């Protein structure tokens, strides 16, 4: 299968690239490497046998006009669209930039997709923000949407554009509404990804800041499980379309996340607290039973195991000489 992955150098995108190559597929990666990290792709860029002749990275922004020529020239069977601006606070302070990346970039890809004759596009939607503040948790796809931030609005707009292009041009999009994804390769220095942020701070001996009172709850889903959902969506019959929640259905509070990471690291330093940030939800969890029925997908890594794996990776990434990672 020939595939094209936007956001290929990012956290989820690079993990997907490695999985697709391991499964024997051809992969074209597209990334402007503004927030993605080319180091995430070093192993496959080096032609290590796993990817020899089957992976190419094109450094271009998804808003660029030449994207159409890239899609036409590579003729993929499936496009996985993960490139996005994912900074919620940044979307509040500069909603125009967020919209250019997440709305105009997605429109440009839709145009490239239909002009290139590609039917299947799998889109990384935001399950953590599309429903606003649902009255019941876990929430399923039948719940009303209620985006509460520019980021949430822009990601939902991407879904709606894909739906419109499906009706106008026969595209067959699958939108995966992702819960809070975590795991190896997540940027430990960014805003997104509380597990990576907390873990890196505790490893480095820095204080951890909790925004709000620590009771805010999220549905944390491990990156390998998320990548498996993308692969299944890419291989699904073209008759399968629509939006599917990808999450565990379980709520875990910020305070519980801090305790679990502290336990792995044998740390006892308490967090410090700051005011909750604008646009953030108090609680979310996703019912993914529709994805299980249509895609055969369900999560396999629970949060305790996932946090242990992530902390081991963080230790190795932040301190390559750490003996704690040996054998992990």
State the Cα angle at 71 between 13 and 234, rounded to 5°.
50
Distance CA 299, CA 305 (A): 12
Beta bridge partners of 139: 286
Helix axes 223-235, 11-22, angle to 10 degrees: 60
Helix (H) or strand (E) run with residue 163 in it: helix 150-169
CB-count burial class (<10 Å; 0-12, 13-18, 19+) for 263: middle
Distance CA 328, CA 324 (A): 8
Instruction: Please state whether the peptide bond connecting residue 138 to the residue before it is cis, i.e. omega within 30 degrees of 0.
Output: yes
Cβ(187)–Cβ(9) below 8 Å: no
Catalytic residue (one of 151, 165, 182, 222): 151
Six-digit token pair at 302? 């629970």
Closest CA to 159 of 115, 138, 129, 117: 129
Distance CA 247, CA 262 (A): 24
151 is catalytic: yes
Cβ(94)–Cβ(279) below 8 Å: no
Catalytic residue annotation: 151
């Amino acid at each position: 299968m020939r595939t094209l992955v936007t956001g290929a150098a990012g956290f989820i995108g690079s993990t997907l690239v490695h999985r697709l190559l391991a499964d024997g597929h051809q992969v074209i990666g597209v990334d402007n490497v503004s927030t993605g990290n080319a180091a995430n792709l070093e192993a496959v860029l080096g032609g290590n046998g796993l990817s020899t002749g089957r992976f190419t990275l094109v450094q271009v922004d998804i808003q660029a006009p030449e994207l159409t020529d890239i899609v036409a020239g590579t003729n993929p069977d499936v496009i996985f669209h993960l490139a996005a601006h994912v900074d919620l606070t940044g979307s509040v302070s500069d909603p125009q930039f967020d919209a250019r990346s997440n709305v105009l970039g997605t429109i440009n890809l839709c145009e490239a997709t239909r002009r290139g004759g590609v039917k299947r596009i799998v889109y990384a939607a935001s399950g953590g923000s599309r429903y606003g503040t649902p009255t019941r948790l876990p929430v399923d796809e039948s719940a009303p949407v209620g985006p509460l931030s520019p980021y949430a609005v822009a990601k939902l707009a991407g879904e709606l554009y894909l739906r419109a292009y499906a009706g106008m041009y026969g595209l067959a999009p699958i939108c995966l509404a992702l819960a809070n994804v975590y795991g190896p390769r997540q940027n430990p220095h960014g805003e997104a990804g509380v597990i990576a942020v907390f873990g890196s701070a505790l490893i480095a001996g820095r204080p951890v800041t909790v925004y709000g009172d620590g009771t805010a709850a999220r549905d944390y889903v491990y990156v390998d499980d998320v990548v498996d959902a993308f692969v299944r969506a890419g291989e699904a019959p073209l008759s399968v379309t629509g939006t599917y929640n990808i999450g565990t259905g379980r709520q875990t509070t910020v305070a519980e996340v801090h305790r679990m990471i502290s336990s792995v690291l044998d740390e006892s330093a308490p967090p410090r607290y700051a005011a909750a940030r604008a646009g953030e939800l108090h609680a979310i969890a996703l019912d993914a039973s529709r994805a299980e029925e249509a895609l055969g997908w369900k999560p396999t890594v629970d949060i305790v195991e996932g946090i242990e794996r992530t902390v081991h990776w963080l230790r190795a990434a932040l301190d390559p000489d750490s003996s704690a990672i040996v054998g992990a």
